[in-house]
Amino acid sequence: MRRLTPYLLALPSWMWLGIFLVVPMAAMASVSLQTGNAIDGFAMTFSFSNYSDALGRYSTQLLRSLLYGGLATVAMLVIGYPVAYWIAFKGGTRKSVYLFLLLLPFFVSFVLRTISWNFLLSDNGILFGTLKGWGLLPEDFHVLATTFAVVGGLTYNFLPFMILPIYVALERVDPRVIEAAQDLYATRTAAFRRVVLPLSLPGVFAGVLMTFVPATADPINAQILGGTANTMIGNIIQTEYLTNLNYPTASALSFTLMAVLLVGIFIYARALGTENVLEAAAR
Closest approach, Cβ 270 to another protein, in A, equals: 16
Q: Can you state the angle between helices 147-171 and 110-120, rounded to 10 degrees?
A: 130
**CA–CA dist 145, 122 (Å, integer):** 10
**CA–CA dist 176, 174 (Å, integer):** 5
Does position 174 bind another protein by CB under 8 A? yes
Closest approach, Cβ 154 to another protein, in A, equals: 13
Contacts of another protein in 175-194 (CB under 8 A): 176-177, 179-188, 190, 194
Contacts of another protein in 132-161 (CB under 8 A): 140, 142, 144-145, 156, 159-160
The residues, ordered by sequence, that sit 6+ positions from 247 with a Cβ below 8 Å of its Cβ are 31, 34, 38, 42, 241
**CA–CA dist 264, 70 (Å, integer):** 11
Does position 38 bind another protein by CB under 8 A? yes
The residues, ordered by sequence, that sit 6+ positions from 174 with a Cβ below 8 Å of its Cβ are none
The residues, ordered by sequence, that sit 6+ positions from 283 with a Cβ below 8 Å of its Cβ are 202, 206
Q: What angle do CA 38, 21, 268 make, to 5 degrees?
A: 105
Does position 162 bind another protein by CB under 8 A? no
Does position 27 bind another protein by CB under 8 A? yes
Contacts of another protein in 58-117 (CB under 8 A): 60-61, 79-80, 82-83, 85-87, 90, 93-94, 96-98, 100-113, 115-117
Mask 189-218, x = binds another protein (CB under 8 A)?
-x---xx--xx---------xx--xx-xxx
The residues, ordered by sequence, that sit 6+ positions from 113 with a Cβ below 8 Å of its Cβ are 105, 156, 157
Q: Which of 53, 70, 171, 239 binds another protein (CB under 8 A)?
A: 239
Closest approach, Cβ 41 to another protein, in A, equals: 3
Does position 271 bind another protein by CB under 8 A? no
The residues, ordered by sequence, that sit 6+ positions from 158 with a Cβ below 8 Å of its Cβ are 72, 76, 210, 211, 214, 215
Q: Which of 62, 71, 204, 236 binds another protein (CB under 8 A)?
A: 236
Closest approach, Cβ 116 to another protein, in A, equals: 3
